[in-house]
Amino acid sequence: MRPRYAKPRPDGGGENHLATQVCNRRRPGTGRSGRHRHHHDLGCQCHEVLLATLADNRSGLLRSADIAIRASGSSSAHAGPDAFVCAPPPFRSTFNHWTTTMTALLSSLLRPGIPSLAAATLVLASASYAAADTHQIELAPYSAETDHLTLSFLARDLETGEEYVLEGSDLDTRHTPFSTFKIPNLVIALETGVAPSLDAWREWDAAKRPAASHWPDVWQESQDLGTAFARSSVWYFQDLALEIGGATYRQQLSDWGYGNAEAPDGSDDFWLTGELLISVNEQVDFLEALVSGDLGVAKASLDALDSTSEEGSFGSVTLHGKTGSGPDNPEDTSGSFSGWYAGYLSREDAAPVVFALHVAGPSFSSIRDFRKDFATRLLQDAGLTNDI
C-alpha cells in the first residue's frame, strides 16, 4: 500500500491581510519551476507581502514553485492597485539555477511601476532561503572511496522542500538513463495495458533475443513484469518497447518532462544507446511528480511500482530504487562505465524523499555495487532514512 500523507495547504487572510494561495498543481514533468501561477489580492505593498509570506507561510513556499503577489499603492503612474508581480521559486536545487532565476526576476521587477525596494527585498529574501534549504554534502569525508569516480547526487525531501546536493555535482548535464528508465517504462506498460499487471508473462525467445555474453542466468528464462523489473531483464522491456511504440513513448515522456523525451520509431533500446537522455535534476523532478500523484497515473500502477521497486527498509522508512549502467563506449565493455541509482524513500507519516545518483568510473566493477551502497549511505548520513 502507498503511504498516505497530507500535502501542506497555505493559509489565507482577509481584506488588507496576506491572502496568498500556493498552487501545487503542476504542468507534468516541469518540476517545481512549472507549477501554475495564480494571482491573488493582497492589499499591501509588494515588499511587505513578501516578508509576511516568508515569515508566515514558509512551509507552503517550500512545496510551491512560485507565488503570486500583488503590489498596490505604488507611486508610479504605470502601476496601480491591479499591478501584479509573479515570483519564481524562492530556491532552486543549484546555485546556478537560482542565479539565473533571480537575474530574470530582478530584470522583470525593475521595470516602470514596480518599486525597486520590493525587487531588492524579494531577491535578498530568496537568496536567504536558497542558502537555508539546500544542504551541500561535503565530498571530503568520502574521498578515499570516490577519488577515482565522478559523482553527482541530489535528494529532495518532499515534506520540507529541503534539498541535499553532493559537493561538485553536475545536476544539469543529461546522461543515458540505462535501466533507471525501467521505472517510467513499467508505469507506461501498465498504463497502456501492454502489460496489464506485474504478473504479465512473457516467454523468452532465444532466437529473437539471443543471450549476450554479459547476461546473467536469470535473464535467460521466461518471466513476468515484476521479476523482469527486479532482475533488470533487458529483453523483456525491449519486447514491451516494440509494442508500446515510439509515438506513445515520445508523447508520454514529453508530457512528463522526462529528459529529452527521445524515442525513435522502431527502437527497442533507445534508453541504452544515447537517444534518450536525462539529467540528475530531471530524474528527481520526474520522481517527485510521479510519487506525488501529479502525473495522472493510476493508483494501481503506483502500487505496482512500490511493490516491485522495494529494496530494503530503515524502520518505517522503505527504500525504493533502480540501478542502471552501461559502457561509455558501447564497443568496449572492458572500459569506463557510467551508471545510476535513482528512487525514493516512502515514509508512513510524511511525504517521500526522492533522489538520484549518477556516477562515472573506470570500469563496471568500480560502480556496480557502489551506486546503491553510496546513495544509501548519503541518504543515511543526511538523516533522511530516520523515522519521522
For 270-316, the pLDDT digits (tens) are 999 999 999 999 999 999 999 999 999 999 999 999 999 999 999 99
Cell of 124: 535578498
Cβ atoms within 10 A of the Cβ of 242, count? 12
- Helices 182-192 and 234-244 pack at an angle, to 10 degrees, of 50
Short-list 223, 230, 195, CA closest to 307: 230
Q: Is the Cα torsion angle 287, 291, 297, 301 positive or negative in sign?
A: positive
Residue 41 has pLDDT above 70, yes or no: no
- Gyration radius of the chain's alpha carbons: 23
Cβ atoms within 10 A of the Cβ of 18, count? 23
Mean of all residue pLDDT scores within the chain: 77
The average pLDDT across 149-154 equals 98
How many Å apart are CA 344 and CA 196, to the nearest integer? Answer: 24
Task: Characterise 128 by phi-psi region: left (phi > 0), alpha (psi -120 to 50), beta (else).
Answer: alpha
Short-list 321, 82, 86, CA closest to 182: 321
Cell of 260: 529529452
- pLDDT at position 98: 45
How many Å apart are CA 296 and CA 224, to the nearest integer? Answer: 25
Task: Measure Cα distances from 26 to 22, 153, 174, 255 in Å.
Answer: 11, 24, 22, 11
Instruction: Note the pLDDT tens digit of each residue in 88-142.
Output: 332 333 444 444 445 455 455 444 444 444 444 444 444 444 444 999 999 999 9
Reduced to 3 states, what is the DSSP secondary structure of residue 240?
helix
Residue 227 has pLDDT above 90, yes or no: yes
- pLDDT at position 357: 98
Q: How many residues in total does the chain contain?
A: 388
The average pLDDT across 348-375 equals 97
- pLDDT at position 214: 87
Cell of 361: 568510473
pLDDT tier at 269 (50, 70, 90 boundaries)? very high
Short-list 277, 69, 319, CA closest to 180: 277
The average pLDDT across 194-219 equals 95
* Phi and psi, residue 301, nearest 5°: -70, -40
- pLDDT at position 308: 97
Residue 73 has pLDDT above 90, yes or no: no
Helices (H), 69-218: 95-109, 116-133, 143-146, 182-192
How many Å apart are CA 114 and CA 116, to the nearest integer? Answer: 6
For residues 275 and 264, the answer to whether their CB atoms sit within 8 Å is yes
Question: What structural domains does the chain harbor?
Answer: 32-134 (no CATH), 138-381 (3.40.710.10)
Q: Is the Cα torsion angle 73, 78, 84, 89 positive or negative in sign?
A: negative
